[in-house]
Structures are given as C-alpha cells and as structure tokens.
Amino acid sequence: SQQGEEDPQALSIQEGENATMNCSYKTSINNLQWYRQNSGRGLVHLILIRSNEREKHSGRLRVTLDTSKKSSSLLITASRAADTASYFCATDLSQGNLIFGKGTKLSVKP
Amino acid sequence: EAEVAQSPRYKITEKSQAVAFWCDPISGHATLYWYRQILGQGPELLVQFQDESVVDDSQLPKDRFSAERLKGVDSTLKIQPAELGDSAMYLCASSSLGQGFDQETQYFGPGTRLLVL
C-alpha cells in the first residue's frame, strides 16, 4: 500500500523557474525523505526532514513539513534542464521502512 | 564514491523460467533492501535484511520469490517461476541503519530491468 501521494503527477516548466511538488501522507512518521530518479536509473537521496522539523534547505532545494496536515513540499529554485527527473517522497514509519509515493515527473525545458 | 552494485542491468526471460539478481551494497552497510518498481509507480519494498537476517519480508510473494544474504554482505533475489506480471525494475538499496550518522538515508543501485515474455 502506498502511504504518500505526490501532486502534481507531472510538471513542465522553463529553465530558471521554480518547481514545487507536494506530498501528502496518512499516518504518523519518523521522517520524510525526497528522492530523485532519472529515467531508467536508481534513486538518489535528496533530503531528509524529521518529524520535529518544519523546514530544511540543501542548495537549491527547500523542503517543508506540516505534520498537522500530514503534508510536505519540495521546492526547487532556479531549475535547470538537468533537474528533469521523477521526484518521490518516502515516509519512514519505523526501522527504515520507507513507503514511496507514485512520484512527480518534472520536465524542465531549456 | 562508494556505490551499490547490481547485476545484470537488463534481463529478458520467458515466463516459467527462473531468474536471479545480485546486489553488492556499500561496504560496511548492515541493512540491505530489495524493492520492485513497476513502470509509473514508486518503489515497493520486497525484503529488508539486517546483516544476514530478514527484518521484513511481508510484501515478498514467497511462493515464487526468495532472497538471501548468507554472509551479511551481498545478496541474491530469485524468482522461480517468472510470470508476466513480474516485469519491472528491481532495485537494491543499502543503509547504515542503526550504525550512527546518516543511518536513515538509503543508497540505491542502478537497478535490474526485468522483462518477462
């Protein structure tokens, strides 16, 4: 069963614009993680936010977490063509058991 | 930079045949995961190992799937017999869960894409 649901399913923007993806989940979590997957490849960890944190930054990435609404958002600022990929949120319920959403497919046009 | 290795990268097989996938985690990582990812979906956990022991295999179809990590290092996932619905990407990941810093981050291999005809 999938706990996380990303929104939108697909997003197309121009280079230089910001991209925002949202994730909603159903049950209490230890942490929430975002991963990127280039077409046909493995996943790459982007950022982890713990249940007691509200916001976290890493380079051009900004993640927020609202545990009262059971939602998170990933913001990519000043997007580049190389950011084109699928982005997944994953909720860690316990013991490293990650449950992934279906992902948001981001296309950044040069 | 240390990486998770998987082989083969691609596998085409006929239904009812046996297939096996191999994974070598990042050196020193005690926790190893096998995921299945159907096209257009997120990965779903099949089995989680802590050293050589299975921690979670609740989503593993045990009538046809088996996984082992005999020496607590590399791991093999087997499907016998393969069915058409098994066509998917099989991903291996490892982490240092319980071992300290950065323990929750999972590092993924490139995956094995399986096509069952």
| Residue owning tokens 């982890």 | A48
Q: Contact B17/B82 with Cβ under 8 angstroms?
A: yes
Amino acid in position A18 = N
Average pLDDT of chain A, as a whole number: 93
Mean pLDDT of B81-96: 96
CA distance A102 to B5: 25
- What is the DSSP secondary structure assignment for residue A83, as one 8-state letter? G
Please tell me the predicted confidence (pLDDT) of residue B4: 97
Q: What average pLDDT score do residues A81-86 get? A: 97
- Selected for mutation to probe chain A from B41, B55, B92, B95 (highest A CB count within 10 Å) is B41
For chain B, domain boundaries: 5-116
Mean pLDDT throughout A73-90?
97
CB contact under 8 A, B91 and A42: yes
Measured in angstroms, the CA of B101 and the nearest CA of chain A are apart by 13
| pLDDT tens column, A46-68 | 999 999 999 999 999 999 999 99
Indicate the residue of A30, A97, A101 with minimum beta-carbon distance to B42: A101
Tokens matching residue A58: 């890493």
Q: Which residues on B lie below 8 Å from A92 (Cβ)?
A: 104
Domain with residue A9: its CATH number is 2.60.40.10
**Can you tell me the distance from the alpha carbon of B35 to that of B12, in angstroms, rounded to the nearest whole number?**
19
The reported pLDDT for the residue numbered A5 is 83
The confidence score (pLDDT) of residue A94 equals 77
User: For residue A100, which amino acid is it?
Assistant: F
Q: How far apart are CA A18 and CA A35, in angstroms?
A: 18
pLDDT band (50, 70, 90) for residue A3: low
- How many domains, in total, are found in chain A? 1
Q: Which numeric CATH code is attached to B5-116?
A: 2.60.40.10
Whole-angstrom distance, CA of residue A36 vs CA of residue A87: 5
Distances (CA, A) of A47 to B60, B98, B102: 28, 19, 11
Residue B90, pLDDT score: 98
Query: pLDDT tens digits, residue range A14-53?
Result: 999 999 999 999 999 999 999 999 988 889 999 999 999 9
Contacts of B39 in chain A (CB under 8 A): none
Q: What is the pLDDT of residues B17-39, one digit of tens each?
A: 999 999 999 999 999 999 999 99
Query: Does the beta carbon of B55 lie under 8 angstroms from any beta carbon of chain A?
Result: yes
| A94 vs A86, more confident | A86
CB B8 within 8 A of CB B111: no
Measured between CA atoms, the residue of chain A closest to residue B95 is A96
Interchain contact B104–A (C-beta under 8 A): yes
| Residue B108 Cα, gap to closest chain A Cα (Å) | 6
Q: Could you tell me which residue, B31 or B99, shows the higher pLDDT?
A: B31
Is residue B53 predicted with pLDDT exceeding 70? yes
A76 lies in which domain range? Answer: 5-109
Q: Do residues A13 and A104 make contact, with C-beta atoms less than 8 angstroms apart?
A: no
**Closest CA relative to residue B30, chosen from B47, B44, B13, B48:** B48
